[in-house]
Amino acid sequence: MFCNTRVSNELGAGNSQAAQIAVWAVILLAVIDAVTVSTVLFRCRYVLGEAYSNDKQVVGYVAVMTPLICISIMMDSLQGVLSGVARGSGQQKIGAYVNLGAFYLVGVPVAVILGFVLRLKGKRLWIGIVAGSVVQATLLFLITGFTNWKKQENKARERMIEGASSAENRSN
């Protein structure tokens, strides 16, 4: 999405309020998009498998997996936008730590426990990915919600000044 560029441009221009409005507008659009796509997909879950196979077992398995796919779509939409917000506001390290923590501390262990302890077979991996995505989107949403946009505006201005002075020093 364009969210990271929009947020960074607004913060760099000294418009923290416009950056904040852009963030919440893009989050709203991502939610509307994800809910629409997930609803259509969920309603077609019994027909979707027939596009790939005539085998009733395959069609049934696709219908069983579709709710997980719908949750994945919603979480991926949110985390994509929220990761862009983190990048655009200069919080790349926080985004990276959230990503690593969500998937390696939550997603993978959930997949291992479900797959090897409870023996849920094919669903285990997807449930682990969904668990990691839920944690990632939740943490990034909380970080975005508690971000001090005026402070981020000041940090962006400081980075611009530092970049301009270092470019000037290189040219001399």
Tens digit of pLDDT for each residue in 67-90? 999 999 999 999 999 999 999 888
Residue 39 lies in a domain: yes
Residue 167 lies in a domain: no
Residue 41 lies in a domain: yes
Q: Say which range, 43-47, 80-84, 116-120, has the weakest mean pLDDT.
A: 116-120
Q: Model-level pTM greater than 0.75?
A: yes
Q: Is 161 exposed, middle or buried (0-12, 13-18, 19+ CB in 10 A)?
A: exposed
Residue 53 lies in a domain: yes
Average pLDDT of the residues in 116-125: 77
Average pLDDT of the residues in 124-130: 86
144-156 exposure pattern, b = at least 16 Cβ within 10 A, e = fewer: beebebeebbeeb
Task: Give the whole-angstrom CA distance, residue 126 versus residue 71.
Answer: 10
| pLDDT at residue 49, as a whole number | 87
Residue 164 lies in a domain: no
| pLDDT at residue 137, as a whole number | 94
Residue 168 lies in a domain: no
Residue 17 lies in a domain: yes
Computed from CA positions of residues 67, 73, 79, 81, in that sequence, does the dihedral angle turn out positive or negative? Answer: negative
Residue 119 lies in a domain: yes
Average pLDDT of the residues in 6-23: 89
> Whole domain around residue 78: which residue ranges?
3-157
Q: What total number of domains does the chain contain?
A: 1
- 102 has pLDDT over 60: yes
| pLDDT at residue 171, as a whole number | 67
Q: The tokens of 150 are what?
A: 């005026």
